[in-house]
Amino acid sequence: MVIRAIASLIFIVSAGLAWPCTARAQNLVIGVDGCAILASVVFTEVTEARLGHSTGSPRDLLYAGRNEISLCNQVTRSVTGAFAAALRQANLYVTWGFHTGYSGDYCLSHFLSQCYPTGDPAMPPLDTMERSFVMRSWQAVQDSVHYRMAPYRGNDVARFEVDELARSIRRSIVAGSVENKSQLLGF
């Protein structure tokens, strides 16, 4: 009797294992990568600053949602790549010569504070006004993004809200422009 019960139980369990299960997978929530959003904000703000106008709060960027916090874990690569791409739109070519032999589209360092754009040696040199814009806008981007990074050394992660970051970069570039004009005029 016990053997028959065990055999029946084994038969039922093995038949149940062979029975096809129709489990439904949940739909994945696919959001926009925070690094793509960060790069888009930097690209848009630097491009608009170079063109000399600002449309206010950008609405055509990649957004995860209104007033949503975004996270990027490759800040240096995203920011420097977007910055160089924005300048290329204005025919200003920079390189991130972090070490000898590398002149790439983005900085290889994991420290945003160690990245400095320089004129691409394969292109005509930047004039004084172009060089001033590059340095002023890079400082504005670097300061705005660095403020949103975690405070420990070697950190390459930023947490930000899109509109707030865009406003910060825009204000810093404009403030640098006003400061630069007053220095040129001797005030």
Q: Per-domain residue ranges for the chain?
A: 27-185
Angstrom distance (rounded) from CA 178 to CA 161: 26
Instruction: Compute the mean pLDDT over every residue in the chain, rounded to the nearest whole number.
Output: 77
Mean pLDDT value across residues 34-51? 92
Model's pTM, two decimal places?
A: 0.73
Angstrom distance (rounded) from CA 17 to CA 157: 46
Smallest CA-to-CA distance from 64 within 37, 29, 35 is with 37
CB of 79 closer than 8 Å to CB of 141? yes
From the number of C-beta atoms within 10 Å of its C-beta (0-12, 13-18, 19+), residue 173 rates as buried
Angstrom distance (rounded) from CA 51 to CA 39: 18
Angstrom distance (rounded) from CA 72 to CA 31: 13
pLDDT at 126 over 60: yes
Residues 6+ apart with CB under 8 A from 138: 83, 116, 117
pLDDT at 39 over 90: yes
Helix (H, G, I), strand (E, B) or coil at 17: helix
Structural tokens at position 142: 């670097």
Angstrom distance (rounded) from CA 162 to CA 109: 24
The per-residue pLDDT for range 137-185, each reduced to its tens digit, is 999 999 999 999 877 777 889 999 988 999 999 999 888 665 555 454 4
